[in-house]
Structure 1
Amino acid sequence: MHTSKIMQMRWLSIIWLSLFSYFSAASTNVELSGELKKWHAVTLTFDGPEANETDEINPFIHFRLNVEFTHISSGKKFMVPGYFAADGNAANTGASAGNKWRVHFTPNLQGEWQWQALFRKGKFAAVSDKPFTGTSANYMDNQKGQFAIQASDKAYPDFRERGRLEYVNQAYLRFAETGEYFLKAGPDAPENLLSYADFDGTFHSDGHKDNLVKTWEAHKKDWNENDPTWQDGKGKALIGALNYLSSKGMNSISFLTLNIKGDDQNVFPYIDYDTYDRMDVSKLAQWDIIFSHAQKKGLFLHFKTAEVENQGLLDNGGLGLERQLYYRELIARFGHHLALNWNMGEENGEWHKNHKTMPQTTIQRLAMAKYFYNNDPYNHHIVIHNGNDYNDLTGPDSYYTGASVQTHRKDFGHVHAAVKRLRAWPVVNGRPFAVAVDEPGDAQDSLLPDELDPEHNDARMNGLWGALTAGAWGTEWYFGYAHPHSDLTAQDWRTRDLFWTQAKHALDFFKLADVAYQEAENKDDITNNAWVLGKEKAFYIVFAKDASKDISLNFPLGEAEYSVEWFDPRNGGELQTGSVEKINITSPLKQYFRREKHSLGLPPKDGTKDWVVLIKRR
């Protein structure tokens, strides 16, 4: 046969195979769902291979669905991981098998978007770091499509009104749509929030601390008509709990997603307690109903991916098959939400004598953050909780963007100094740590129930305002083990109702102040008897535990006039006028004397109580 004919046949064969692949992909059914609006999740559900959670060919490990989304006019691209979704309605059916494969994408731009699916089958395809490992699994592989995105129509507190919450190389996080910065406040407890009786799974009766499974019954009355449920009315109580927190003006919740060896042992994404490579599809779909409602109610999601007892559970702490699979599934199923952070571990590292699993090393601590940096298409905030300190995570190979801080005094007395110390640290890869205080107080007491401590003076003064005036971007509140409604047993957030009101007052103050607090830093050295957060020659936020003491501020010289207003952190309300309404700086700049001391006067009433003073340059 002539060479030219051989080449011709080869080219015909290539063309035929290409056409076969194209039409095979094109014939796969795909459902596009979602409101098709900016910052709203767009979901693609494909007909793929029939699979079961327990198949010998593991659908979570040996298949990989990625979809690349491209904004046509700007060229902006997102490579988004997908996942096995059983029958596509597993939250309601409880299905463990089916042929539905799904991806969620949250567009950040209006206009036309294109997508292209990449579907692979092969040994360990899901956890390979190579873009096209494995062979084409046909079905939706190389399938393409297009959709148009309109503006969002949502209103506050729904995060879709504000856009994605982003780390922007500052100590505070910022919303991409509105440009406003975010201060969080809410419960850190219970850590086993997801140990909930209405979720599917084996955890209810597997013999591992089943008595700690929650009903959240106290909040069932807070569920509203048209709120989500699953399986003929399940989920109402936990949905109601989210409604309650939002109604109190709180904007954050915190939860573990893996505590197999921990204090509770009922929260894990797997089909059972002893299996680490098979996901419970229906349970995770129900989790996402909770997370989606939380975002609509303006509640930030603090994903704590492991607690201290579990840090070596997967791959002995390394980044092997089990850990990569776990992280990929978290990103694929929940990463589309707008306001969240990934916490690599609670009380992480080798820091006490009796670790239940192998404590993680510096290399492993760094590897976890790098995985999320490389695989989360939205680059959500990445933090780690102290056990070990953070000083091994500040080098050029670190992808952490923040610290989650725990302190250990009953009166919350370490909070202010802990935040100041971390805010003063060198930057990481040119980035400052964004610091949040997520477990102020000690293990036994911390934030007490209202019936034991209705005024919450230490929590308010040392914990809440101590954190904010040191430069923290928020606080979450742990419930001590020595009291009812603890970190493991709490299922009624009303037990701290009076404190949520005080935390809301703090959030309200920063809106009333209307200052660029994201540009501020701690300035305790320019005052006495108080704490100060400020921006030089612009504004100063002064917190005094006892306003009857003389409070003065050393102002920078140069002609300027400052207003002085007072805020009641106990009762909230508007800014008020004290005994001094304004301060004039008239001294010219001098070589040796660069500050001028002025008294801030007295508050309008209750001088022996704690007050906040807002000083703004006019």
Structure 2
Amino acid sequence: MKKMTRITNVVLLLLTYQGFLVAQTTGQIDGELKKWHPISITFDGPEVSETDAYNPFMGYRLNVTFRHEGGELVYQVPGYFAADGNAGETSATSGNKWRVHFNVPQTGQWSYQASFRMGENIAVNASSTAGEPVSFNGATGTFSIADTDKSGVDHRGKGVLRYVGEHYLRFDNGEWFMKGGADAPETLLGYTDFDGTYTHTGLSKDAGDVLIWGTTQHKDGRGATPLKKYEAHVRDWKEGDPVWQGTKGKGLIGGLNYLSAKGMNAVSFLTLSAGGDGKNTWPWISHTEVDRYDVSKLDQWETVFSHADKLGLFLHFKTHENENDQLLNGGKLGPERKLYYRELIARFSHHHALNWNLGEEHDLWDELNDPEQLNAKADAMYLHSLDPYDHPVVTHTFPNQYQQSYTPLLGYEYFEGPSIQTNSMRPWHNFEVISYWVNASRQTGRKWNVSMDEAGTGALGVTTDDYDDNYNQDEARATYWATIAAGGDGVEWYFGYAEEQNDLNMEDWRSRDALWDYTRHAMDFFKTNRIPFWEMENANALTRSERDFVFAENGELYVIYLPAGGGAALNLQEHAGTYTVDWYNPRTGGALQKGKEMVIEQTYSREPASVLSALPTIKKPRVQGGNVTEVSGPGWVNLGMPPADPKEDWVILVRKK
């Protein structure tokens, strides 16, 4: 059993608070005192309730400043009202506990000081002197941090995943991140085991409801959906995994276990679907009381997110969606919207790998006649001003609105990249979309982290394993490789509304079991073969075929994806030396293999006006029994044919000796 540390010291100082004497304490520290292991500090403060006439969420502000003994590391971290301090178990709505989480980035001695102030709308007031100091304001304490003892996928052995000015994100321990995981269900948190979670009606911008899969939904499959149970994943829950209130949480915890066991490292979800698709997810005590937060529900969310950290899962927070992006302050950065962001950051920003998505199918530029994306810029700046770890801020939009949504954000210092949605599973189309924004951002000097977060048509997305035509999953596999070749950081897979296990109603991730295998094989290829993808760029022009996808560290390393199989020739005209040639099966994974020799009858054109006309014209290729193990430059080199199944997709790895 892991040893948990608790420290409680009382400073003999009494303050007067609204006529009562309140002891100022250093707070109670809970958690493993190790580097990258989040800790919690809980203070005894005023006794309040979620529904008090004086709103405790708006009327109090807790900030805690943490300082490392070296003097260079200083973090200001927002805190929150925690009811009785154990609300996830007790469902408490009132109490005197106030809490802050801190993901400790360095070993050694740390000190902290609490600022706790009271005043009208003070929670969304940035002034350090706003309001009046009350209760435990000024409380201090110290703690000592040892090194982490975690390894493997556990984020507590890696640190915070950060934007570092490149197209890929990097953990504090130096490990670069390539993403693969689930974009569905977006109503992940519409789960029956969470307190205060129900399905509502009304508040939608859309109309045209029909009956689909036994639920009332919009004509395109959206609408009010039943709460999830994830019963198919209860068997994936393991002894020792977290639960709350007895046996609650096993289905969702088990589902995350399944995704992690399949090698996935990302999961996406809405934190607000009130008035939108699903209509069953929000952080408040009801779907209409937008400034009163459900403490016990959010404590239960925290249990799930903490387990995701241990499983190595990136948390994609979608803070709004198209149907409710004007629900808070009409889409402007007003007090309700500011409080919403502050509560999310205070309760969840200590998790290691996450981003803040301003909205799924975000189109505030259109709704508010704001072509310069001023609202998105204001939101992004506000999120960065509060988040002590500077997690990436992204946004998602419709396929026909890229230019309006993303172009004004190019080069903006508080925005880290687009969350791409396409309406196709065609690999070349998806490659071109990713490639465009990778290159456009590079030209501004601020490289974006570009993600493929919703590929495929709205009806299908990526289909289930038992779908009548599995060609869709073949294209999905090619889309993953095309995304990486374009400089994208990976894919979160969307499930279309035409299937029962869809973006809103999905209960069983096993419905796409083969898809997770294909995705894992791709990520394993780069990890196992120690391929520095963060240093590579697209180089499709280096092969003769227009159908190949080439990802290269030019002169050193080439990854060539052949979506339709066959052979390949590589341009090494400017690079002398010997290169090894290996083949990888993206359908089955496994070890590298050697390809077959190919003898080619060829003719040459001597026309100097065209580079392409000087290349060999292939006629009647013949495959021989020998293996292609090495090629030498400079010049065009023939890489041979696949080891087997020449009409299926293959990957060629060409590496300089």
TM-score between both structures, scaled by the size of structure 1: 0.91
Match of 1:441 among 448, 456, 462: 456
How far apart, CA to CA, are the structure 2 residues paired with 1:89 and 1:359? 44
How far apart, CA to CA, are the structure 2 residues paired with 1:558 and 1:360? 47
Aligned position for 1:613: 652
Determine if the alignment matches structure 1 residue 266 to structure 2 residue 280: yes
Aligned position for 2:48: 51
Q: Could you list the per-position Cα deviations for residues 291-343 of structure 1 after superposition, in whole angstroms to 9, with x for gaps in the alignment?
A: 11111111110001111111111111111101100000000000000011111
Determine if the alignment matches structure 1 residue 365 to structure 2 residue 365: no
Paired amino acid for 1:82: G
Aligned position for 2:179: 184
Aligned position for 2:28: 31
- The range that moved more, 232-241 or 448-457, is 448-457
Kindly report which structure 2 residues correspond to 1:114-193, keeping only aligned pairs within 5 A, or say none: 114-137=111-134, 139-177=135-173, 179-193=174-188
How far apart, CA to CA, are the structure 1 residues paired with 2:364 and 2:342? 26
How far apart, CA to CA, are the structure 2 residues paired with 1:123 and 1:384? 31
How far apart, CA to CA, are the structure 2 residues paired with 1:296 and 1:600? 42
- 2:441 aligns to what SS in structure 1? coil
- 2:323 aligns to what SS in structure 1? helix
CA contact (8 A) 1:348 1:360 kept: no
Match of 1:502 among 486, 502, 518: 518
How far apart, CA to CA, are the structure 2 residues paired with 1:197 and 1:319? 31
CA contact (8 A) 2:423 2:455 kept: yes
How far apart, CA to CA, are the structure 1 residues paired with 2:14 and 2:443? 50
CA contact (8 A) 1:583 1:598 kept: yes
Q: Percent identity?
A: 44
RMSD: 2.2
Kindly report which structure 2 residues correspond to 1:180-219, keeping only aligned pairs within 5 A, or say none: 180-204=175-199, 211-219=225-233
How far apart, CA to CA, are the structure 2 residues paired with 1:405 and 1:327? 22
- 2:56 aligns to what SS in structure 1? coil
Task: Indicate how the Cα distance of structure 1 residues 457 and 372 shifts in structure 2: closer, same or farther if over 3 A, else same.
Answer: same
Paired amino acid for 2:57: F
Q: Could you list the per-position Cα deviations for residues 462-482 of structure 1 after superposition, in whole angstroms to 9, with x for gaps in the alignment?
A: 321111111111100000111
Aligned position for 2:558: 540
Q: How many residues align?
A: 586
How far apart, CA to CA, are the structure 2 residues paired with 1:351 and 1:323? 17
Q: Could you list the per-position Cα deviations for residues 511-563 of structure 1 after superposition, in whole angstroms to 9, with x for gaps in the alignment?
A: 12312210111111111331101111111110001222x41111242422111
- 1:449 aligns to what SS in structure 2? coil
Determine if the alignment matches structure 1 residue 342 to structure 2 residue 356: yes
Aligned position for 1:485: 501
- 1:330 aligns to what SS in structure 2? helix
Determine if the alignment matches structure 1 residue 386 to structure 2 residue 386: no
Aligned position for 2:211: none
Aligned position for 2:326: 312
Determine if the alignment matches structure 1 residue 70 to structure 2 residue 40: no
- 2:306 aligns to what SS in structure 1? helix
CA contact (8 A) 2:199 2:226 kept: no
Paired amino acid for 1:197: T
How far apart, CA to CA, are the structure 1 residues paired with 2:503 and 2:316? 15
CA contact (8 A) 1:411 1:458 kept: no
Paired amino acid for 1:534: A
Aligned position for 2:600: none
How far apart, CA to CA, are the structure 1 residues paired with 2:632 and 2:524? 28
Identify unmatched segments of 5+ residues in structure 1: 1-17, 587-595
How far apart, CA to CA, are the structure 2 residues paired with 1:395 and 1:484? 38
How far apart, CA to CA, are the structure 1 residues paired with 2:245 and 2:369? 39
How far apart, CA to CA, are the structure 1 residues paired with 2:540 and 2:363? 32
Match of 2:438 among 419, 423, 429: 423
| C-alpha displacement of 1:583 | 1.4
CA contact (8 A) 1:185 1:475 kept: yes
| C-alpha displacement of 1:211 | 4.4
How far apart, CA to CA, are the structure 1 residues paired with 2:568 and 2:45? 69
Paired amino acid for 2:373: T
Q: Could you list the per-position Cα deviations for residues 57-114 of structure 1 after superposition, in whole angstroms to 9, with x for gaps in the alignment?
A: 1110010000000011243100000000001000000011000000000011000000
CA contact (8 A) 2:13 2:23 kept: no
Aligned position for 1:584: 632
- 2:243 aligns to what SS in structure 1? coil
How far apart, CA to CA, are the structure 2 residues paired with 1:465 and 1:207? 41
| C-alpha displacement of 1:430 | 3.6
CA contact (8 A) 1:460 1:503 kept: no
Paired amino acid for 2:106: L
| C-alpha displacement of 1:162 | 1.3
Aligned position for 2:580: 563
TM-score between both structures, scaled by the size of structure 2: 0.86
- 2:301 aligns to what SS in structure 1? helix
Aligned position for 2:607: none
Aligned position for 1:604: 643
Task: Indicate how the Cα distance of structure 1 residues 278 and 391 shifts in structure 2: closer, same or farther if over 3 A, else same.
Answer: same
- 2:57 aligns to what SS in structure 1? coil
How far apart, CA to CA, are the structure 1 residues paired with 2:197 and 2:594? 59
Aligned position for 1:11: none
- The range that moved more, 199-208 or 561-570, is 199-208
Paired amino acid for 1:532: V
- 1:181 aligns to what SS in structure 2? coil
| C-alpha displacement of 1:392 | 3.5
